[in-house]
Structure 1
Amino acid sequence: MLSDYLVADPHMVRDLHTERVPHLPVRVRDGTGMVGPLVVPGVTSCLGCADLHRSDRDAAWPALAAQLRDTVGVADRATLLATAALALSQVNRVIAAVRGQEATPEPPSALNTTLEFDLNAGSIVARQWTRHPRCFC
């Protein structure tokens, strides 16, 4: 799990990808819990793909991401606990699938997806990520 900052350290992400280590970003931003995308190197889109898609929509994204790199998100206790619970449920689904504990395992909801939820507004958004043509993943 990558849970320290709003934007993960690109060197650490590169190392995880190179070593083929699955990873799941978990963070809060402006009171909203965010889990995903769950990255399985060589199988799913990666965090680099998500950044490239964001850059396609907003040319300022690389500069903004650099500013957010060492920023810790803020949320109330309920949002923090709900975010942790959702992340744990995603990890448990992966573990169950790997161990063969489910007859027909459902893929984790965070696979190629960022799950964003706002407890105060009662909203949940699933933001899908596809492989980006310019990404080397």
Structure 2
Amino acid sequence: MAAWQFDVLAVFDGSTSLPPPLRRRAEKLLAEHYGQPSEMFKDFRVYGGPGGNRIDLITSDDGCGELWMRVDARAEIDTFMRQIVILMIEMECALKVAETGLHIPAQIDVFNQALQRSDAWKFVLGAAPSSDAV
């Protein structure tokens, strides 16, 4: 992960492992919003480009999945972050900030605050990252 990237995961019922029905729902919603994904590896689909803002869906052998959202703090991110919040609300999921492990609700203001406390944001602003990021 590059210094300007901010990753969050979908959290359902306290877990980042999405049950098969929810994973299938995520696939459907992502295809509707972003079109067909690129397959990076077997069972690893990328919605959006390999660089910049993107969403990764990783499917395990048991049919469960993990949904990772990568925000490129250097880019225009408002629309992408709002799309993530809408997707999480539609899936009844919260977000987990990968950098800190903190679970946050799918609310744009809380999501923005988490990004603005992150090392990625500090990197983009030219400030030294610290260990107190949220």
Is the pair's TM-score, using the shorter chain for normalization, greater than 0.5? Answer: no
TM-score of the pair, normalised by structure 1: 0.29
TM-score of the pair, normalised by structure 2: 0.29
User: Per residue, is there more strand in 1 or in 2?
Assistant: 2
When Rg is computed on C-alpha atoms for both structures, the one with the higher figure is 1
